[in-house]
Structure formats: structure tokens, C-alpha cells
Amino acid sequence: METVVFTLNQESRSVTTEPGRTLLDVLREDLGATGTKYGCGEGSCRSCVVLMDGRPVTTCQTPIAKANGKDIVTIEGLADGDTLHPVQAAFIAEGAMQCGYCVPGMVLTAVALLKANPKPTEAQINEFMNGNLCRCCNYPNIVRAIQRAAGTAEGVAK
């Protein structure tokens, strides 16, 4: 057993568990943070992305020990109280969700993109987001949502 201490959505958490477990499983099964989704178990779909010290990581590929001492933000911790993060609001406005299962990973990856590059071109959005899968293939609306959040397009919401 291993004890790991980290900050989860601004709260300090301590977990004692088998070292073979992933951060994804601990978040979902032990800490109730089920907004972080399993999609592939190998880092190919990024449904399980959280922000770790501000950077997007695939939690299905992160052994729990690697979370020690880190500051972790999951989708549950992104909004400021009842005020949605601009990326979250833009996803709703542009209808950038069909089944919605990929949305937490999409939103958090987009937050990381806009932090690194506040005014990305469409090509830069596609490049940065290409690891995130949406099987509903709602990519056009997701791009529009990121553009809306970045203020680089009016969006097409009618």
C-alpha cells in the first residue's frame, strides 16, 4: 500500500492504496470524481484528461504515485461556483456535445490549449485537440466552441 497526498479541486486529499492503481481509478472509485471518464485505458482518446499542475494528463496512464504533491483540477472543479468557465459555457452555446461523454476531457484539454495559446488558429486547435476522440464526431461544433471561448469567431449558434 502506498499513501499519496495531492490537491483535488482545491481540497487536500490523502489516499492509501495499491501502487498499481491508476489516478483515473482512484479519482472515480475512491474520490467520487466520476466526471473523469474511462475511454480506452491507453491514452488514445483523452476522455480521462485532468489538469495536473495546469497541464493536461491522461489519468488512465498515470500511476497513482505520480499524483503525489500535485495540484489536480478535474471537470468538477473547473467552474467558479455557479459561474461556468468560459470554455464550459461555449460548449453549451455551440451545442458542442452529443452524448457528452468526451466533453470533460475535451473541455479540460481546450482550457490547457487556450492557456498556452489564447488565440489559436483553426489548424492549431485541430493539432492540439487531435488526441481527443469524439465518437459522435461532433468535431466541427467543438472547434467552434473553442473559437467562441477564445473570442476568435462569432460561432454559428443560431
Partner 1 sequence: MKIEPQPFEPERYEFVEPPRYRFSVSRRAFVQSVGAGLLISGFVDFSAFGQQRGGDDETPAIGGRFHIGKDGRITAFTGKVEVGQGARTQLTQAAAEELCVPIAQIDLVMADTGLVPNDGGTYGSLTTSRTVPAMRQAAVATRELLIELACKAWAVSTDGASMRDGVIEHANGKKMTLAELAAGAENIAGTLQDRSAEGGALTAVEAWQTLGKTVAPVNGPSVVTGKHRYTSDIRREGMLYGKVLRPPAYGAELTDVDMKAAEAMDGVVVVRDGAFVGCAAPTSYLAQQALNALASTAKWTTKPHPASDELFAYLKSNTREGTGRQRSREEASGDVDAALAASKNVVRAEYHIPYIQHAPMEPRAAVAEFDGNKLTVWTGTQRPFDVQREVAEALGLSASNVRLIVPDTGGGFGGKHSGDAAVEAARLAQAAKRPVAVHWTREEEFTWAYFRPAGVMEIAAALDGDGRVTAWDFTNFNSGGSGLGCPYAFGNVRTRFWNCESPLRQGSYRALASTANHFARESFIDLLAAKAGADPVAFRLQYLEEPRLKAVLEAAAAKFDYAGKRMQASANTGYGIACGTEKGSFVATCAEVAVDAVAKTYIIKRVCVAYECGAIHNPQNLQAQVEGCVVQGLGAVLHEAMKFKDGKILYTRFKEYEVPRFKDVPPFDIVLLNRPDLPSVGAGETPIIAIAPAVANAILHATGAAVNALPIRLA
* Residue 5 makes contact with partner 1 by CB under 8 A: no
Contact assessment for residue 64 and residue 17, using Cβ atoms and an 8 Å cutoff: yes
> Per-residue x/- marks for partner 1, 79-108, CB under 8 A?
x----x---xx-xxxxx-xxxxxxxx--x-
* Residue 20 makes contact with partner 1 by CB under 8 A: yes
Whole-angstrom Cα distance, residue 46 to residue 132?
A: 5
Q: Which residue, 53 or 127, is less far from partner 1 as judged by CB?
A: 127
* Residue 21 makes contact with partner 1 by CB under 8 A: yes
Q: Which residue, 119 or 135, is less far from partner 1 as judged by CB?
A: 135
Q: Quote the cell numbers at residue 34.
A: 466520476
- Site residues for partner 1, window 28-67 (CB under 8 A)? 28-30, 32-42, 44-45, 47
Strand runs (DSSP E) across 46-93, as ranges?
49-52, 55-58, 71-73
| Cβ 13 to partner 1 shortest distance, Å | 17
Contact assessment for residue 93 and residue 154, using Cβ atoms and an 8 Å cutoff: no
Residues in the chain: 158
* Residue 132 makes contact with partner 1 by CB under 8 A: yes
* Residue 152 makes contact with partner 1 by CB under 8 A: no
Terminal Cα-to-Cα distance of the chain (whole angstroms): 54
Q: What 3-state class would DSSP assign to 100?
A: coil
Q: CA of 82: how far to CAs of 104, 108, 132, in Å?
A: 17, 17, 27
Interaction site with partner 1 (CB under 8 A): 18, 20-21, 25, 28-30, 32-42, 44-45, 47, 74-76, 78-79, 84, 88-89, 91-95, 97-104, 107, 125-127, 129-143, 156-158
